[in-house]
Structure 1
Amino acid sequence: MVSETPSSRLQLIVFALVSASFANVYITQPVLPVLQQEFGADMVTVSLTVSAVILGMALSNLPFGSLADRLSIKPIILTGGLMVALCSIAAALVHDLRMLIATRFVQGIFIPALTTCLAAYLARTLPVERLSIVMGSYVSATVLGGLGGRLLGGWVHPPLHWRYAFISAAAFILAATIAAIRGLPPDRQHGKTLSSTTGYLALLRRRELWGFFFCAAGSFSIFSSVFNYLPFRLTGSPFHFPTGVITLLYLSYIVGIFMGPTAGRFSNRHGSGKTLITGSLVLGLSLGIIMLPFIAAVVCGLLGVCAGFFAVHASAVGALNRRLSGGQGRANALYVLFYYLGGWGGITLSGFAYTHWGWNGVVLLCLLLVIVPLTAGIGEMNYRKRRMLQSSGK
């Protein structure tokens, strides 16, 4: 049984598999200018090496969520781990940008086999008191995995040898997959959750949940756009930074490890609405700071963007689940679907904005998108006030 597995061992397995999975997503992000030169392509096209992965994850998230309810976890993880590793090896070997983008898209399709399915397995097999602890490792792994992939692609390996980063990522994902296959307890609960009456369409008919879904899309669109086009900004005037220095700025991402729990405590005390509004305002202020042509402003702006984004993200997820009396798995799968569609759309639209209006065009687009989580926060505050009035009326 899962409940009999030592907590530290299970946390380590979860942390390793999730972080290795997310490391594959962002490998090319810090070396996009290098890819642009190597393949002789424009920045929008080379950015597809990141957004194609995110699109693949978005499209396969719901199907894999359904498979996780029907099949045992180990065959799913084994298939996903092998496919992600094979795509990493293929990405290291191809010499055509279109093939690189295609392999990244296929890689994205199989990453939810290692992340969404693992989360579903944990949710249905762990007791409540252990689930929150192990899922804490899960969330931290998504943050460190994203950071690790960026460091792997732009700092650990010399940028001009970005192909080696894919080989390393393949080795990491294979090791984590083997550890999960050997270390995860048998999944005896699969197939027992199919009687749930709350389907995807029923959840989408609940208009009060739309704000959280759009909040996921809008906030991740901002976050992805800033970090995806930051290398182009910093390699140009007035900075002219090398890739290694640019990659180190991604360390600001680590703010997410601390901001998630902090936002949760703030929400418990002041409400999710105020947390969403505060996070949105921090995002907007930080985007204004990051436009200034000074490295200190860029660093402060990145830290603020990370703090605001993770505050919004953690608060929206918590508020969504508090609204539900059933169908939590499917509701969270929908949230992730909107989340990654927002990331893909943000990167794509910001690419055109950068092409026509430069870095300021990207930031202005992101400032416009801040309206989405801000509106969701106002809606959540109004909802809470109505509930309090109804309670006092009784």
Structure 2
Amino acid sequence: MPVQAQHRLQIIIFALVCAAFTNIYITQPVLPVLQQDFDTDLVRVSLTVSAVVLGIALANLPFGLISDRFPIKPIIAIGGTAIIVCGLICAATDSLSLLISARFVQGIFIPALTTCIVAYLSKTLPPASLNVVMGSYVSATVAGGLGGRLLGGWAFSPEHWRYAFVATSLLTAIAIFAALKGLPAHQQNKQQTTKPATSYLRLVAQWKLLRLYLCALCGFGIFSSVFNFLPFHLAEPMFGFSTQDTTLLYLVYLVGVMIGPVTGKLSNRFGSGNTLLVGSAVLLSALLMLLLPFTLAILVGLLLFCAGFFTIHAAAVGALNRKLDAGHGRANALYTLFYYVGGWVGITLSSFIYQHFGWTALITCLITLLIMPVWTGIAERKHR
């Protein structure tokens, strides 16, 4: 692929995926405001976030099937329109039940802009270009996740949270228009065969793919657990961070924006296995630094933590798609399913560990989960 065309494609993919992920976390920073506005309890208002995640988890496998059978542009158009309409409903409604329902529908259609676009890229691009463009995809997931939080709780004052939905819908519309105009027509990668699409069960039964799924599960389990309980740790007397101070630390997510394209180039040059091992080593160093009772160590540890995790994530996604001859939509849907299940399981189990045994025990348990990324990296080196 020509360099100019690849750069244009990277920009389009980044904008589209970033817009999709911006929709996911938009209510997270203003949950207390929503609780007051709708006069409800914390559990119910939290559904405005968890309903989106549930929708994504339920819809990934069906959209994996859809992406293997239909062209990408109609999928983007239909899915994007549903997300935009539901976003505007969220901005206008005075009913919390309708808000939660609209958020759930948004979650159902977000894979149209994420899982399906990965399948499209893996079927269209040669391996070298795929590595680099997938790096932009991973960077976009980071930028979108951070952008949604900042848009919901910082760009607009909390009491004007409805404006954030309008702004996000507008950004999503612009990204979809750019994708529909700029995405090249699908052309089968010459290095791919025309094998029939395989089933989910057969994909999971292949150890070369399953280890990458488990790598995603363990990696995101580590990542989500640390960031979920970091505010509690930093509120302890040894640090005494305020909520505002802790929120600023989430800007370390920006490391993930820069590390994605770099990881693609590293995988091209040194192989996915070596890249996974480097990411695992960086992540281990970060977890050890997070055990130290010093603010500077926490800051440096979080920067390394994001660099290590997103290196693993980008390398695993690239390795997965290079192994596929068919069934790209199904394979990427499974990856995303394992990814989000890892986050949910990680947070659930970590809550018990942190509550009863503290931060040190939690970090120690998370370090043991690094066995899977390391094992995967070694296996990828052998089968390069």
TM-score interval for Structure 1 and Structure 2 normalised by the shorter chain? 0.7 to 0.9
What is the TM-score of this pair, normalised by structure 1? 0.78
Cα offset, 1:208, TM superposition: 4.1
Shift of the alpha carbon at 1:174? 1.7
CA offsets, 1:125-157, max 9 Å, x none? 445665455444333322222222222122212
Letter in 2 for 1:205: A
CA-to-aligned-CA distance 1:328-371 (integer Å, 9 cap, x gap): 553333212211222233344445666x459x46x744642442
Contact 1:273 1:376 in 2 (8 A): no
Comparing 272-281 with 372-381, greater Cα deviation is found at 272-281
Q: Do the aligned residues in 2 keep the contact of 1:253 with 1:306 (CA within 8 Å)? A: yes
Instruction: State the 1:213 CA deviation.
Output: 1.0
Distance in 1 separating the partners of 2:276 and 2:128: 27
Residue 221 of structure 1 pairs with residue 221 of structure 2: yes
1:84 is displaced (CA, Å) by 1.2
Could you tell me how far 1:233 is from its partner in structure 2? 5.6
Task: Give distance in 2, aligned partners of 1:227 and 1:382.
Answer: 29
> What is the aligned partner in structure 1 of residue 180 from structure 2?
181
Instruction: Letter of the 2:333 partner, please give it.
Output: A
Q: Percent identity?
A: 54
C-alpha distance in structure 1 between counterparts of 2:208 and 2:126, whole Å: 29
- Greater alpha carbon shift after TM alignment, 53-62 vs 374-383: 374-383
Alpha carbons of 1:74 and 1:255: their partners in 2 closer, same or farther (altered >3 Å)?
same
Matched ranges for 1:211-250 at <5 A: 211-230=211-230, 239-243=240-244, 245-250=245-250
Alignment partners' CA distance in 1, 2:376 and 2:8: 41
Q: 1:368 aligns with which of 356, 365, 369?
A: 365
Count of residue pairs brought into register by the alignment: 379
Partner of 2:259: 259
Contact 1:53 1:106 in 2 (8 A): yes
- Per the TM alignment, residue 278 of structure 1 is displaced from its structure 2 partner at its CA by 4.5
Q: Quick check: 1:155–1:247 contact (8 Å CA) kept in 2?
A: no
Structure 1 segment 1-394 matched on structure 2, within 5 A? 6-32=5-31, 41-42=41-42, 48-94=47-93, 99-126=98-125, 131-186=130-185, 195-230=195-230, 239-243=240-244, 245-263=245-263, 272-273=272-273, 275-290=275-290, 294-321=294-321, 323-324=323-324, 327-350=327-350, 356-357=355-356, 360=358, 364-365=361-362, 367-378=364-375, 380-381=377-378, 384=381
| 1:97 to 1:352, Cα distance in 2 relative to 1, 3 A | farther
* CA shift digits 1:195-224 (9 cap, x unpaired): 525332222112343222111012112222
CA distance, structure 2, for counterparts of residue 183 and residue 265 of structure 1: 24
Residue 348 to residue 37, structure 1, CA distance change in 2 (3 Å): farther
Unmatched tracts of structure 2, length 5 or more: none
1:115 CA drift (Å): 1.8
TM-score, normalised to structure 2, is: 0.80
- What is the identity, as a one-letter code, of the residue corresponding to 1:50? V
- Once the two structures are TM-superposed, the CA of residue 306 in structure 1 deviates from its matched residue by 0.6
